[in-house]
Structure formats: structure tokens, C-alpha cells
Amino acid sequence: MARLVMKFGGTSVADIDRIRNVARHVKREVDAGFAVAVVVSAMSGKTNELVAWTRAAAPMHDAREYDTVVASGEQVTSGLLAIALQEIGVNARSWQGWQIPILTDGAHGAARIMEIDGSRLIERMAQGQVAVIAGFQGLAPDNRIATLGRGGSDTSAVAIAAAIGAVRCDIYTDVDGVYTTDPRIVPKARRLDRVSHEEMLEMASLGAKVLQVRSVELAMVHGVRTFVRSSFDDPADPRLADAENPPGTLICDEDEIVEKQVVTGIAYSKDEAQISLREVADKPGVAAAVFVPLAEANINVDMIVQNVSEDGTTTDMTFTVPTSELERAMKVLEGARSSIGYSSLQGSGDLVKVSVIGIGMRSHAGVAASAFRALAGKSINIRAITTSEIKISILIDSAYTELAVRTLHSLYGLDAA
């Protein structure tokens, strides 16, 4: 019997009626002959409420007790869904992360999964029992509950799919798949039938909120076929029973994509700030003097551009950080001024990173040039550029976000017919 993992996010289980709807989705797959494991998030808004309670109790609280509190949201949902499934005649039992067990490292609040023993799950599923698993949590080395950070239920689902050898991991959410860009900006955006793991990883890290980045990394490493679909579709819709072509987006290995688009999608991230160091001495060790203190302060640096002066003695160094970290990054660099040796430090927010993504870019020249020409035609100034085999990212003023996304979306023929 083929094993299937189904994951439902907070909006999909927001109340009892929606939990009953989820139960009908699960029953459809059980009736189709799958051995099913379900991973659930907390009910919509519940995690935020639990986090607020821990902060109200003590602003500087114990991370282990934080995990004890916030993990309870998923525990409630798993029990309620198991009850709803039993009510409609489906043999189901709830599981917490420690019962499987899902073993994590000791980083409470942002733990990483180290190992999953799926043997007990597989045994129960083979007996026809649906396993309803609380996502977002595992068991730390100190034998206490550890949570995986925001979006961790996606990671739980993919990791469990890998551990039990599932044929697919279906991620049910409030959208019906992955789109070529944000439909709120480009109404002509199309839902993609298939996206490679590599493309989805870029899209998730560059602003697309459909999947959590770590879950895509896990899916790529373990070759887990992941399907993004809507929980708000009617479970009785006959299209959903089409095992070959149900509505949604399949995230898979590149080899499964026969016709590779040059450009698959346009992503954007508004949380960008730029820092520039002027007249830095151009000598070995300067880059380390700049970026090591930022790394030690856990400040993530993204786009980096360096311009050497004509005489080769100094350089201007520009890079981006999250907007929320701009002030802290500036203070770190001011404190390291003596070791870096810059003449001036400048910082600016209100920027956006727009990215063009596609595995087809590996074998096609001129993709970047056409983007720069199109943006220049709209009088959009580019502050910084970074590229990889399947991505071009540009930094622009946030006022031009919608114009840039629409321009690039049309340029590469991504608009719906």
C-alpha cells in the first residue's frame, strides 16, 4: 500500500468546521487506497496567542518552557482531527513529536530535525490506521519538547515523508498552488503545474511564502515529491481524485520536468536594506573585518557588491541586510571602524529585491541583458545585482516594486493567455 503524507496549515484547521473539511480530504485519500499520515499546524492565530502569553509571563523566559507552551497548539489540532476522522468512520490516532520519535538538536525554539524513526508509524499505517501528527515539534537531547521555528510544520511533513518512504507529501494551504508571481500584483499570473526543487528553494528564500525554506531543502536532499494544493477545494470534487493530474503544483526533481521554461517565476522581497562602506583599504583581510563581526552578531548579509578605485588602493563595499537588522548592523560596523578602516558608512532602507528564477536560464544567454534593458526602459534604477545559474536578483527602490515585477513577468512571457 502506497504511503501518503498530507499536511494542513493553520488556516485549513482554523475552526471545527474546517477541521471537519480536512477530515473529508483525508477520507478521500484513504478511500483511494493510500496509507495516510497527516501533519497539522496549530489553529490559525493560536501560535501567536501562545507566544504572547509566554512574553507576558516573562519577557526573558526559558526557551525550554517556551517550547512546552507553543507546542500545545499542534497537540490540540491533532487530537481534534483524530476525533473528526473517527466520527466519519476513519480509524485514526493522534501522535505527538516525541511519540514517533522525531529527534532534534538542542536549539529550543529553532531546533533542527536530526533523525526520525518511522518504523512504528509504518506499522500502524499498514494496519489501516491514519496517523495524525502534531507538526512543528520534536524531542531534544535533554528529553524535552523542542519546536522547529515558524513554518516548522512544513518541515515536519517533508521529514516524515522521507522517513516513511511516502510517494508524495501534499501540502494543503489557502492557495491552490505555486504561481509565476504574486497574483495580487500581477492578475495574469499563472499557476505552475511543476516546479523543480531548486527553483522552489530560490522562490521560497526570495519572498514566496507558499513553503518554508527548510522544508524545500529537505525535500530536495531526500527527493521527496511535494504537492502544493488548496484545502478549500470541495473534498468531493472529482478533479481531486485524479491521481495523475489533480489541481495544484508538483515540486519535484528537475528530471521530471520535460519542457523547461527559460524563466519560471518572478519573486520579490521587501525586507531589504543597503549598507555602503566608502574608501575601504583594498588589502587582504578587509572583507573578513567587515563580515565576521556581522556574522557573530547573527546578522544575515545577502547581496554584496565591491568597486575598486582607479588607483587600486581603496574600494567601496555595498551589501544588503534585512531591514529589521539595519540599525543593529550599522552599530556593529561603527564599533569595528578601527579594524576595517573606512572613511564613511551609509545605510538606507525602503528597498526591494526582485528576482528572476528559472532552471532554463542555464542554457539560454541574454536573460539578464533583456531584464536590464526592460527595466531601463521603465526608468527603474538598479542599485545592486547578484546572479547564480538559475537566478538574477536586482535591488531597486521599493516604489518601483509593482512596475518591475509586472515588467519582468510580461517580458518573459509568463502572463496567462
29 is in an annotated binding site: no
Contact 268, 352 (CB under 8 A): yes
350 is in an annotated binding site: no
391 is in an annotated binding site: no
Contact 153, 13 (CB under 8 A): no
15 is in an annotated binding site: no
Q: Mind giving me the DSSP string for 165-204?
A: T-SEEEEEESSSS-BSS-TTT-TT--B-SEEEHHHHHHHH
400 is in an annotated binding site: no
How many residues in the chain?
417
Measured distance CA(209)–CA(189) in Å, rounded: 16
Tell me what percent of the chain is helix, strand and coil, each rounded to the nearest 5: 40, 25, 35
7 is in an annotated binding site: yes
209 is in an annotated binding site: yes
152 is in an annotated binding site: no
| Helical axes 16-31 vs 72-87, angle rounded to 10° | 60
Element (H, E) at 108: none
Strand partners, 247: none
Strand partners, 178: none
Contact 109, 66 (CB under 8 A): yes
Residue bearing cell 541574454: 366
**CB atoms near residue 237 (< 10 Å):** 12
Residues 6+ positions from 52 with CB-CB distance below 8 Å: none
120 is in an annotated binding site: no
Measured distance CA(76)–CA(151) in Å, rounded: 17
179 is in an annotated binding site: yes
Strand partners, 386: 393
Output the known binding site for ATP.
Answer: 7-10, 173-174, 179, 184, 209-210
Output the known binding site for substrate.
Answer: 47, 74
Output the known binding site.
Answer: 7-10, 47, 74, 173-174, 179, 184, 209-210
